């Protein structure tokens, strides 16, 4: 019995050992299968079950006016994101097509960076950019748009024969591949979808593998086009902008492109948070939670007054449309600046035509982009709506410059306040150059005897020819710069132009020859004198405030998320680098009060006395205004065959205790008085008068001759 029992035990042991051995072999084979044979497959499945990190976008800071009215703010919307999921290429393509169909059905836009349109095939970018695009996508430079489309269709394995459907798939494939989407990194397809799309995607989530719906901040401009050239716009970050900034931005971010949005981008952006998302193997979200809260960006407060800004824009636009009809000319645009004469604070800055920043905040359509940018198909685009004419367009100021010549003559002693110069109509300068006063050109006679005040009132070219000739170009250029002209003001906006001050050095730099008679053209604001409206507003402010230099600014303060004001010293250092500002090394000049008073009296006469070039505009006005009109010839003709003459007006009010200065320029406005018209509504708004009633009561303005 004992031997039999032992044998049975040995048999059971051997059987157990064999089973353990077999199980061991099976486990080893399974491990081999997991790690070697199907390792990549199982790793992908494991990854799809991992928790993903999603960026919790920070709200951009607000941009507000001087009273706290929001000009740019942040609202919330629903963004549609896509993660890489375990589906085959055909399923992915058809899923993307269904996504576009849902979005389009509900009027939503989605990302579209593909620079090829179909039916007909053509590139939506310039030839030069198309070359770069082909190079980046490893496509032969000789390939046409249609051939490039076919190459991408094959690359993305798109089988749809319908060309429009194929393009919808292609544009999303192109965008998500370019952004580098993966199992753990999502790409934003649409940034602000409608409630209808939200409902459909939520109810049918199983049909849309890899999508994630998330609350996201949306940049919003409540007043549409108001102050668009000041605010600028935001749009999706480009690959070039992202390069080197990956620690701060990701491919889905929006970024300031122009205006205040660009300049103060580091302050406005805020700090993103992190949201954890759990997603199953089929790409369906199973849970999410916030692991790091987002911190909103700083608020940027501006010096502008929103109401005054609106009136300024409306008055400028209305005048431009009216002038075009009255003068039968093509007007491409204009600008206006309102400035505090004592502080240099910009209270309003308008440029026409404008644009709506809301069009860019999410995903701008190709049609809208072409409307703004394609000069071949859009009349609007030909007028360059993105150019901030107030700071970026420099042109000859015409007779609004004559106060410079007057100040230079008085300060150097070339002329006195009481000296009267006899305008005989033709200024005898040399044997081959004898320019005429506008009075002679119009009526065959001169103005007769005028002192400096009377010469400003009547805008006498002859008088300023003589004074400019006496002063000389070096002194004229010196006082031009001393009054803030021909150099950047330093306003906190990108794209400011310095312009030019007429001089032999300027002519040489421009490849021109300086002639002795050029000083006469310079003395009446022609020649190479070329200034921006923002400079002209500063110049007028200096005249009005007693000759004190001012620092032009549109920034009031920057407030962080905790309500603390960013130190001004920090902002000054930041802005100096951001704008590339240089030290102003021009000669400092002081002005004598009696000389300024003589000039200012002339400016008052322009708006109040018989023969004043803006008297008809300010007749019966409750505020006494000092001003000067100007008409600057360009030597070109418009589409109607009329000579292009830009209209200028500069002014300040009230005369006895100046508070604001205004500079207005209307391209091809023909007569300076036309530019004075919107100034009346602007001044009325600032001083709390009924601007609309004043506009309705205005009588028709008679035509004024050029160079006045």
Stretch 263-287: mean pLDDT: 81
Farthest-apart Cα atoms in the chain, separation: 152
Task: State pLDDT tens for residues 659-677.
Answer: 999 999 999 989 999 999 9
Is residue 646 within 8 Å of residue 668, measured between CB atoms? yes
Name the band, by pLDDT with cuts 50, 70 and 90, for residue 373. confident
pLDDT of residue 691: 42
pLDDT of residue 644: 87
Q: Which residue has the higher pLDDT, 186 or 304?
A: 304
Mean pLDDT of the chain: 88
Q: Show the beta-strand stretches assigned E in 23-142.
A: 51-56, 63-64, 70-82, 116-117, 122-123
Which residues, other chains included, contact 337 with Cβ-Cβ below 8 Å and sequence gap of 6+?
A: 346, 348, 349, 350, 390, 533, 534, 536, 537, 662, 663, 664
pLDDT of residue 49: 53
Task: State pLDDT tens for residues 313-330.
Answer: 999 999 999 998 888 888
Is residue 334 within 8 Å of residue 666, measured between CB atoms? yes
Pinpoint the alpha helices (H) of 434-529: 438-443, 452-458, 461-471, 473-482, 504-509, 518-523
pLDDT of residue 34: 46
pLDDT of residue 698: 32
pLDDT of residue 701: 28
**DSSP letters spanning 77-88:** EEEEEE---S--
Residue 257: pLDDT above 70? yes
Task: State pLDDT tens for residues 632-649.
Answer: 888 888 777 778 899 999
* Measured distance CA(24)–CA(21) in Å, rounded: 5
- Global pTM value: 0.83
CA angle 182, 184, 187 (to 5 degrees): 60
> For 517-538, what is the HEC assignment?
CHHHHHHCCCCCCEECHHHHHH
Stretch 19-32: mean pLDDT: 54
Its sign, for the CA torsion 503, 509, 515, 517, is negative
Task: State pLDDT tens for residues 356-367.
Answer: 999 998 778 777
Beta-bridge partners for 662: 338, 651
pLDDT of residue 696: 34
* Measured distance CA(526)–CA(522) in Å, rounded: 5
Name the band, by pLDDT with cuts 50, 70 and 90, for residue 29. low
* Measured distance CA(351)–CA(369) in Å, rounded: 19
Q: How far is CA 45 from CA 50, 264, 422, in A?
A: 9, 44, 95
Which residues, other chains included, contact 3 with Cβ-Cβ below 8 Å and sequence gap of 6+?
A: none
Is residue 685 within 8 Å of residue 307, measured between CB atoms? yes
Residue 266: pLDDT above 50? yes
* Measured distance CA(494)–CA(699) in Å, rounded: 39
Name the band, by pLDDT with cuts 50, 70 and 90, for residue 593. very high
Residue 693: pLDDT above 50? no
Boundaries of every domain in the chain: 85-180
Residue 576: pLDDT above 90? yes
pLDDT of residue 692: 46
Task: State pLDDT tens for residues 649-660.
Answer: 999 999 999 999
Percent with pLDDT over 90 in the chain: 65
* Measured distance CA(185)–CA(84) in Å, rounded: 8
* Measured distance CA(1)–CA(337) in Å, rounded: 118
Stretch 507-521: mean pLDDT: 95
Task: State pLDDT tens for residues 410-425.
Answer: 999 999 999 999 999 9
Residue 6: pLDDT above 70? no
Name the band, by pLDDT with cuts 50, 70 and 90, for residue 705. very low
Is residue 639 within 8 Å of residue 662, measured between CB atoms? no
Is residue 158 within 8 Å of residue 150, measured between CB atoms? no
Query: CB count, 10 Å around CB of 520?
Result: 23
Is residue 389 within 8 Å of residue 333, measured between CB atoms? yes
Residue 256: pLDDT above 60? yes
Closest to 354 (Cα-Cα) out of 216, 265, 227: 227
Stretch 600-627: mean pLDDT: 94
* Measured distance CA(122)–CA(171) in Å, rounded: 15
Closest to 276 (Cα-Cα) out of 284, 268, 285: 285
pLDDT of residue 292: 87
Instruction: Using CA atoms of 250, 251, 254, 259 in order, give the dihedral in degrees to the nearest 10.
Output: 90
Closest to 242 (Cα-Cα) out of 259, 257, 255: 255
Lowest mean pLDDT of 72-76, 110-114, 284-288, 679-683, name the range.
Answer: 284-288
Lowest mean pLDDT of 23-37, 184-198, 493-507, 623-637, name the range.
Answer: 23-37
Q: How far is CA 351 from CA 106, 381, 662, in A?
A: 35, 14, 14
Cβ neighbourhood burial of 481 (10 Å; 0-12, 13-18, 19+): middle
Stretch 130-154: mean pLDDT: 94
């Amino acid at each position: 019995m004992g031997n039999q029992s032992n044998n049975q035990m040995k048999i059971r042991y051997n059987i157990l050992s064999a089973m353990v051995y077999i199980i061991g072999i099976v486990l080893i084979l399974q491990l081999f299968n997991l790690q070697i044979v199907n390792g990549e497959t199982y790793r992908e499945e494991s990854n799809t079950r991992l928790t993903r990190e999603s960026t919790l976008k920070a709200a951009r800071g607000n941009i507000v006016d001087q009273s706290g009215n929001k000009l740019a703010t942040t609202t919330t919307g629903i963004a549609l994101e896509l993660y890489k999921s375990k589906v085959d290429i055909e399923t992915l393509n058809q899923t993307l097509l269904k996504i576009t169909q849902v979005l389009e059905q509900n009027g939503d836009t989605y990302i579209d960076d593909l620079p090829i349109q179909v039916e007909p095939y053509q590139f939506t970018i310039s030839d030069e950019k198309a070359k770069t695009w082909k190079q980046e996508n490893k496509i032969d430079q000789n390939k046409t748009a249609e051939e490039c489309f076919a190459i991408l269709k094959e690359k993305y394995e798109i089988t749809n024969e319908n060309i429009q459907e194929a393009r919808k798939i292609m544009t999303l494939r192109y965008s998500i591949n370019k952004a580098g989407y993966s199992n753990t990194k999502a790409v934003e397809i649409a940034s602000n979808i409608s409630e209808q799309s939200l409902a459909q995607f939520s109810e049918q989530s199983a049909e849309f593998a890899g999508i994630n719906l998330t609350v996201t901040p949306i940049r919003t401009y409540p007043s549409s086009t108001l102050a668009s050239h000041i605010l600028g716009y935001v749009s999706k970050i480009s690959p070039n902008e992202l390069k080197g900034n990956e620690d701060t931005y990701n491919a889905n971010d929006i970024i300031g492109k122009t205006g205040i949005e660009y300049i103060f981008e580091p302050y406005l952006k805020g700090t993103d948070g992190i949201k954890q998302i759990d997603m199953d193997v089929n790409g369906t979200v199973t849970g999410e939670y916030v692991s790091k809260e987002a911190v909103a960006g700083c608020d940027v407060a501006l010096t502008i007054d929103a109401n005054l800004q609106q009136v300024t824009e409306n008055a400028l636009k209305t005048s431009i449309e009216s002038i075009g009809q009255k003068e039968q000319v093509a007007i491409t645009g204009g600008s206006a600046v309102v400035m505090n004469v004592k502080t240099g604070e910009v209270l309003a800055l308008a440029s026409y035509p404008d644009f709506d920043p809301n069009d860019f905040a999410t995903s701008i359509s190709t049609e809208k982009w072409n409307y703004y940018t394609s000069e071949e198909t859009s009349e609007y685009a030909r007028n360059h709506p993105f150019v901030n004419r107030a700071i970026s367009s420099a042109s000859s100021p015409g007779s609004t410059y004559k106060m410079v010549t007057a100040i230079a003559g008085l300060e150097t002693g070339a002329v006195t306040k009481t000296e009267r110069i006899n305008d005989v109509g033709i200024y005898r300068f040399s044997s081959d150059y004898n320019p005429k006063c506008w009075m002679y050109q119009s009526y065959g006679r001169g103005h007769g005897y005028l002192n400096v005040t009377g010469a400003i009132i009547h805008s006498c070219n002859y008088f300023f020819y003589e004074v400019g000739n006496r002063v000389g170009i070096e002194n004229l250029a010196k006082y031009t710069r001393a009054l803030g002209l021909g150099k950047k003001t330093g306003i906190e906006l990108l794209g400011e132009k310095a312009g030019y001050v007429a001089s032999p050095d300027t002519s040489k730099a421009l490849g021109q020859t300086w002639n002795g008679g050029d000083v006469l053209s310079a003395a009446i604001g022609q020649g190479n004198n070329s200034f921006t409206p923002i400079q002209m507003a500063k110049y007028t402010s200096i005249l009005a405030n007693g000759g004190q230099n001012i620092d032009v600014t549109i920034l009031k303060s920057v407030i962080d998320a905790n309500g603390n004001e960013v130190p001004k010293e920090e902002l000054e250092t930041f802005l100096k680098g951001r704008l590339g500002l240089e030290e102003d090394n021009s000669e400092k000049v002081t002005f004598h009060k009696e000389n300024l008073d003589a000039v200012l009296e002339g400016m008052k006469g322009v708006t109040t006395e018989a023969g004043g070039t803006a008297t008809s505009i300010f007749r019966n006005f409750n505020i006494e205004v000092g001003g000067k009109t100007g008409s600057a010839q360009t030597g070109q003709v418009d589409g109607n065959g009329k000579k292009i003459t830009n209209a200028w007006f500069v002014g300040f009010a009230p005369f006895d205790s100046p508070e604001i200065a205004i500079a207005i320029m209307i391209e091809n406005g023909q007569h300076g008085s036309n530019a004075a018209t919107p100034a009346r509504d602007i001044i009325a708004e600032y001083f709390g008068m009924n601007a609309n009633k004043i506009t309705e009561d205005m009588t028709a303005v008679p035509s004024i001759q050029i160079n006045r």
